[in-house]
Chains A and B, each alone.
Chain A
């Protein structure tokens, strides 16, 4: 499969938004979707939308959010290209079945789909080190339809478009910007809250 060569190029804003969302809800699992487009052997992840921090396994809120997100981004030529997940427990580095099922669903419409799983250990080490690689692990679907951790061979296929993204992220964390992230759960509870987070990067 040519999928082995496929690279995922993620924009800083898409990246930071998802990490901040997970930091806002530290004691629960959270998820989100990746928006972008594919060019030859690169999937460009241009934006992201934080989805939920409660009841990740229920369909109705997920379906509504995906429909609305798709309708919004289609006008910009972007589609759903992947899924982001952060586990409830700090030391849990496994991709759970809910995440896999949602990934499968996205895969049906976008075969190069990726699942990104938050890497808690890397996040914890972020302030100490000078690691420029993303604090997420990339999973792709292999020929036998299983989600497999990619890039364990060293050559990472998930790339941050802006090399200083982690420095900017640290800055956002230290100024407690995560408090301002709005997800789709918040929107469904109070529709005045905007899941596009237009003010987050102002």
Chain B
């Protein structure tokens, strides 16, 4: 994940390059390091270096890294000729390379030649069954064809081998959410919370999935995970604060007319409401009245 400081730094660097202030190479390195997707910029500034023999040779062995980076960016921008040129240069320099083979597979993907791309990946996997990137490409290939059940199958196979890969668990959770398979998504977030218990994002996403599933037990659990997300962020998570209000309201609706003792901690909602009101007053004062009536409508319905 990219932190706020890193993003600011990246944007500053991008602005500098854009306004002719130089630093294109530093920018490209930073994009690689953060693994962000800024394909149009990478293509533009990467090519400006590659097309200038002086600048290019000053990179030394890093030249080949840049060819690879530009090839991938070009495919993302549908500039397939540029991608092909870059890959050809790499192919000449590293004739037997698997890494170049991967790029060739990706070029087939970009062209929409699904079957051939799949063939290329399968043959690469034969040589190295544990190539994580190729496994992920196959998932992407299934997704690109809209074949979600195959994508899920591939990810699950991958996770049997690389079960500590939290990004892939997240990907799987997101696919399940998009297919409205919330129970399966919940399982993924449980895995993520077990593996990294202090990441508030996972607590929040888990709570959102539980709330979506509905039912008293899930709502009560959702409320707990919103609370932990709030705790882990020092009370600074707007989504979790809203989540508390939604849960309280939904729980009250479900338990209407039941024993009073089930209404646990009504003050949790007042605390969340107060935190939201304070934050909006300070940072989004023009939305305070909308927030007020929204929170009120949640209370009235409870």
Binding site for B on A (CB under 8 A): 27, 29, 55-61, 63-64, 67-68, 71-72, 88-89, 92, 96-98, 101, 188-189, 191-192, 194
Contacts and interface: CB of A to CB of B under 8 A. Distances in A.
Contact of B178 (A57, A60, A61, A67): A57
How many chain B residues sit at the interface, stated as a range, is 20 to 34
A118 to B, nearest CB: 16
A191 B287 CA distance: 9
B238 A60 contact: no
B117 interface: no
Contacts, number: 74
B205 interface: yes
B214 to A, nearest CB: 8
Interface stretch (B44-52, B239-247, B257-265): B239-247
Interface string B169-195: 000001001111010000000000000
B92 interface: no
A19 B34 CA distance: 29
Contacts of B238: 188-189, 191
A57 B255 CA distance: 26
Given A60-B246, A92-B146, A191-B279, A29 B178 contact: yes
For the complex of A and B, 7 pairs with smallest distance between CB atoms: A59-B212, A71-B293, A191-B284, A57-B177, A58-B208, A67-B294, A64-B242
B294 A60 contact: no
Nearest to A72: B290
B144 A60 contact: no
A119 B211 CA distance: 32
A189 B283 CA distance: 13
B251 interface: no
Contact of A188 (B205, B239, B280): B239
B71 to A, nearest CB: 18
Most interface-central of A58, A60, A64 (chain B CB within 10 A): A60
Given A59-B211, A71-B297, A191 B280 contact: yes
A99 to B, nearest CB: 11
Interface of B: 37, 143-144, 146, 174, 177-180, 182, 205, 207-209, 211-212, 238-239, 242-243, 246, 279-280, 283-284, 286-287, 290-291, 293-294, 297-298
Contact of A61 (B37, B209, B239, B297): B239
Contact of A55 (B174, B283, B284): B174
A57 to B, nearest CB: 4
B224 to A, nearest CB: 15
Given A60-B246, A191-B279, A68 B294 contact: yes
B208 A98 contact: no
Contacts of A101: 180
Nearest to B243: A60
B212 A71 contact: no
Contacts of B182: 57
Contacts of A64: 242, 246, 294
Contacts of A89: 143-144, 146
Contacts of B286: 194
Contacts of B293: 71
A71 B209 contact: no
Contacts of B283: 191-192
Nearest to B214: A59
Contact of A58 (B143, B179, B209): B209
A29 B238 CA distance: 23
A182 to B, nearest CB: 12
Contacts of A92: 146
Given A60-B246, A89-B143, 15 more contacts: A56-B178, A57-B179, A57-B182, A58-B212, A59-B208, A60-B239, A61-B239, A61-B242, A63-B246, A64-B242, A88-B178, A97-B179, A188-B239, A191-B279, A192-B283
A66 to B, nearest CB: 10
